[in-house]
Amino acid sequence: MTRDQQLTFCKKCINRKMDFQQGLICRLTGEKATFENECADFKLDEIEIENPLDGVEKMLPDELKLTLSPEIIEKFRMEQRLLLGVLSGLVVGVVGAILWGVITVTTGYQIGYMALAIGAGVGLTIRITGKGIDTVFGIWGAGIALLSVLLGNFLSIIGFLANSEGLGYIETLLLFDYSYLPQVMVETFSILDLLFYGIAIYEGFRFSFRKITEDKVVELRDGKITNR
Structure confidence by residue, pLDDT tens digits, 197-206: 999 999 999 9
Q: What is the pLDDT of residue 189?
A: 77
Residues 6+ apart with CB under 8 A from 65: 212
Q: Which residues share a beta bridge with 23?
A: 19
Domain ranges of the chain: 1-54, 82-206
Cut 0.85: pTM above it: no
Write down how long the chain is. Answer: 228
Q: What is the pLDDT of residue 218?
A: 65
Q: Taking the CB of residue 166, how many other CB atoms lie within 10 A of it?
A: 6
CA distance 185 to 203: 23
Q: Which of 101, 208, 85 is closest to 148 using CA atoms?
A: 101
Decide: 148 and 122 in contact? Cβ < 8 Å: yes
* Range of weakest confidence among 68-72, 138-142, 147-151: 68-72
Mean pLDDT of the chain: 81
Q: Which of 142, 155, 170, 179 is closest to 102 using CA atoms?
A: 155
Q: Taking the CB of residue 209, how many other CB atoms lie within 10 A of it?
A: 20
What average pLDDT does range 130-148 have in this prediction? Answer: 93
Q: What is the pLDDT of residue 71?
A: 76
**pLDDT higher at 11 or 205:** 205
Residues 219, 223, 227, CA angle at the centre, nearest 5°?
A: 60
Give 20-62 pLDDT, tens digit per residue: 567 778 888 888 888 888 888 888 876 654 444 443 344 443 5
Q: What is the DSSP string of 106-144?
A: HHTS--THHHHHHHHHHHHHHHHHH-B-SHHHHHHHHHH
Q: How confident is the model at residue 143 (pLDDT cuts 50, 70, 90)?
A: very high
Q: What is the pLDDT of residue 60?
A: 41
What average pLDDT does range 158-166 have in this prediction? Answer: 86
SS3 state of residue 190? coil
Q: What is the DSSP string of 138-163?
A: HHHHHHHHHHHHHHHHHHHHHHHHHH
Q: Which residues of 68-92 are buried (b: 16+ CB within 10 A; e: fewer)?
A: beeebeebbeebbebeebbebbbeb
